[in-house]
Amino acid sequence: MTNDVEVGKAGALFEDFLKEQGTYHEATEQAVKRVLAFQLAAAMKEQHISKVEMARRLETSRSQLDRLLDPNNDGVTLAVLSRAAQAVGRTIKVELQ
């Protein structure tokens, strides 16, 4: 059984590996986008919002919404993500660390 210290150490080692490979920032951005896409889809499901309805709320097409919800599409702007979050009654919190 793994404890929290071991998990934290493994995470730090992986983070160090990504930095050494020069892919840390890219991987982090991709992970954030995937989490946001997952959270938006979950909020839609929780609130019984169809893709058609969500596209209507965002005043966009269904295909544009599919791109927004695609966790592999990293071409989505922060403004679009913010509008999508508002459409499901949420906000996005961004901070510098």
CA dist., res. 39 & res. 18, Å (int): 25
Q: How many domains does the chain have?
A: 1
List Cα–Cα distances, 80 to 10, 12, 25, 36, 44, in angstroms.
34, 32, 21, 12, 16
pLDDT single digits (tens) 27-77: 777 888 888 999 999 999 999 999 999 999 999 999 999 999 998 887 888
Give the global pTM: 0.73
Look at 17 and 72; give whichever has higher pLDDT: 72
Q: Which of 5-9, 16-20, 22-26, 56-60 has the lowest mean pLDDT?
A: 5-9
CATH number of the structural domain spanning residue 61: 1.10.260
Kindly state whether residue 58 falls inside one of the protein's structural domains.
Answer: yes
Query: Which structural domain range is residue 42 located in?
Result: 4-87
Kindly state whether residue 45 falls inside one of the protein's structural domains.
Answer: yes
